[in-house]
Amino acid sequence: MRLTFHGSVLILGGSSELGRALALALRAEGAQVCCVCRDDAGCARCAQDGLPALVLGDPETLPARCEALLGRPVGHLADLLHSRFEQLVAMAAPEAIERWADDDIALRARCLRAVSRAMLARRFGRCVFVSSSAAQRPSPGQGWYAAAKLAGEGLYRSLGVELAGRGLRACSARLIWLEAGRGHAFRSRHGQVARAMPAGRCLGPDDVLPGLCFLLSAEAAAINGSVVTLDGGLGALKLPEL
C-alpha cells in the first residue's frame, strides 16, 4: 500500500538517528520532510543525509519557516523530542526541575499548539508523538523522563479529541529501547536486555519505521486520541527474564 501525505512532514528531533531514519523512510514514500533540530550541529547531521532542516528556535514561527523552506504547508507532525533528564525523583535539584518543565513539557506544548493551529487552516493534520514504554513502566531514575512522556501523551490525546471534527488526528506511539541513538549505550551497559524480548533480540529502526510512517499517513485517520505500542511484545510479559 502506498501511503498518502497531504502537505509536508515536520519532524521534531529530526537530527537523532531515529529521526533521520524516519525522514528517509518517509521520503521513500513520496513525502516532503523537514527535520527540526535543537542547534546547527543537528542541522549539519541532517544535511549529510541530504535532508532539509531548521533550527527549532521560536516554536510559534516553525510552521511558517517550514513552509517557506519546502514550499508546502505542514500537514503531518512527528514529535521525537527526547528528554535528557534522568534522575531519582527525590534527588533532583529545584533548578533542574524548572529546566525539565520548560524543556520537556512547555516546549513540546508550544510546538504542538503552533503546528496544530497552522493545520486548522487546511482542515487536515496528522500528529504523532513518539513516546516510550517507560511511560507505563519506568525504571528507577526514569521518573522525570516518564512523566514528560506521559505529559506528551496527554497533550496529543486531548488534541485528537478536541480537533477531530476539524480534520486533525493525533496519537502516540510507545517504543521500547532501540538499536539506535542512546539505545546503543544502553545495550553496552546492559548486554543481557535482548533476552527480555520475546523474539530474543532488541528492535532496530527498521522494525518500527513502517509503523511510524503508517501512523503519520492519511490512511491512519481512524487511529486518534490513542496510544499504539511498538515494543515487540515486551509489555505483554508478566515478568521479563533478564
Report the pLDDT value the prediction gives residue 203, as an integer from 0 to 100.
Answer: 85
The CB-based long-range contact list for 60-68 (8 Å cut-off, 24+ gap) reads: 60/110, 60/114, 61/114, 62/10, 62/36, 62/111, 62/114, 62/115, 63/10, 63/114, 63/115, 63/117, 63/118, 64/118, 66/8, 66/10, 66/34, 66/36, 67/8
Among 73-77, 88-92, 218-222, 228-232, which is the least confidently predicted range? 228-232
Q: Which residues contact 123 (CB under 8 A, 6 or more apart)?
A: 166, 167
Residue 128 pLDDT > 80: yes
Q: Which residues contact 94 (CB under 8 A, 6 or more apart)?
A: none
Report the pLDDT value the prediction gives residue 50, as an integer from 0 to 100.
Answer: 97
| 46 contacts 27 by C-beta, under 8 angstroms | no
Element (H, E) at 230: strand 227-230
Q: Which residues contact 92 (CB under 8 A, 6 or more apart)?
A: 85, 100, 144
Count the alpha carbons within 13 Å of 154 in the hemisphere toward its beta carbon.
11
| Percentage, residues of the chain above pLDDT 90 | 78
Compute the C-alpha angle 120/123/128, nearest 5°.
75
Report the pLDDT value the prediction gives residue 139, as an integer from 0 to 100.
Answer: 86
Give the integer Cα–Cα distance in Å for 95 and 88.
15
Sheet with 74-79, strands from edge to edge, namely 53-55, 33-37, 8-12, 74-79, 125-132, 168-175, 227-230
Mean pLDDT, range 88-108, rounded to an integer: 96
**Grid cell of 99 as nine digits:** 529546566
Residue 209 pLDDT > 60: yes
Digit-coded pLDDT (tens) for 216-242: 999 999 999 999 999 888 887 766 655
Residue 123 pLDDT > 80: yes
Report the pLDDT value the prediction gives residue 70, as an integer from 0 to 100.
Answer: 97
Residue 142 pLDDT > 80: yes
Q: Which residues contact 109 (CB under 8 A, 6 or more apart)?
A: 155
DSSP string, 146-206: HHHHHHHHHHHHHHHHHHGGGTEEEEEEEE--BSSTHHHHHHHH-TTGGGGSTTSS-B-HH
Report the pLDDT value the prediction gives residue 242, as an integer from 0 to 100.
Answer: 52
Question: Looking at this protein, which amino acid is placed at residue 74?
Answer: V
Total residues belonging to the chain: 242
